[in-house]
Amino acid sequence: QTPQVIIIGRPNVGKSTLFNRLVGKRIALVDDQPGVTRDRRFGEAVLLGMEFTAVDTAGWEDEDPGSLPGRMRAQTEVSLKGADIALFVIDARAGVTPLDEEIARWLRGQNVPVVLVANKAEGRAGEPGLLESYSLGFGEPVALSAEHGEGVADLFEALQPLI
């Protein structure tokens, strides 16, 4: 059994793009228990030869933003129970949003090592967001472009000591 790495973050930051890049076509199973852990995808990831199970989540995505703590947090919480490491993804181009901060606060209370990933960091547009993301309290962010495949070696470096 390979370690489980769960991909968490607000909508549209690129979680599924990152999952697809890590997993390719090796999707192991789709978890579809209604209402409990909807929209969870598992896949066997390979990152520069390092193997782990990646979990794509959409738990923060399917509720109106006004009622943040409710069901979607509970869903992510259920998913997190089986996870060894959390990849907390933000959008470097958008910078840190209130929902990112809310998720960060919640994650700090969970008993799981967190790797902060600043996605969409290709080019210059991500630089301010990258700097801003230190404020989330998870140390140095991994600058990544899931879409363009940049920063993969840095992600490897960040994950390896935890795996």
CA distances to 35, 90, 113 from 161, rounded to whole Å, are 35, 22, 11
Is residue 53 within a helix (H) or strand (E), and if so which, with residue range?
strand 50-56
Size of the site for ligand GDP (CB under 6 A): 15
The whole-angstrom separation of Cα 58 and Cα 76 is 8
In the complex, the smallest distance separating the C-beta of residue 60 from ligand GDP, rounded to whole angstroms, is 9
Does 14 bind ligand GDP (CB under 6 A)? Our answer is: yes
DSSP 2: P
Binding-site sequence positions for GTP? 9-16, 56-60, 119-122
Binding-site sequence positions? 9-16, 56-60, 119-122
Q: List, in sequence order, the alpha helices (H) in 11-70.
A: 15-23
Q: List the one residue from 5, 6, 8, 13 that touches ligand GDP (CB under 6 A).
A: 13
From Mg ion, ligand GDP, none, which one binds at residue 119 (CB under 5 to 8 Å depending on kind)?
Answer: ligand GDP
The whole-angstrom separation of Cα 108 and Cα 40 is 22
Does 97 bind Mg ion (CB under 5 A)? Our answer is: no
From Mg ion, ligand GDP, none, which one binds at residue 14 (CB under 5 to 8 Å depending on kind)?
Answer: ligand GDP
Sites for Mg ion among residues 16-75 (CB under 5 A): 16
- How crowded is residue 64: how many other Cβ atoms within 10 Å of its Cβ? 8
Q: List the one residue from 4, 17, 75, 76 that touches ligand GDP (CB under 6 A).
A: 17
Contact 7, 19 (CB under 8 A): yes
The whole-angstrom separation of Cα 41 and Cα 19 is 9
In the complex, the smallest distance separating the C-beta of residue 77 from ligand GDP, rounded to whole angstroms, is 18
Binding residues for Mg ion (CB under 5 A) = 15-16
Binding residues for ligand GDP (CB under 6 A) = 9, 11-17, 119-120, 122, 145-148
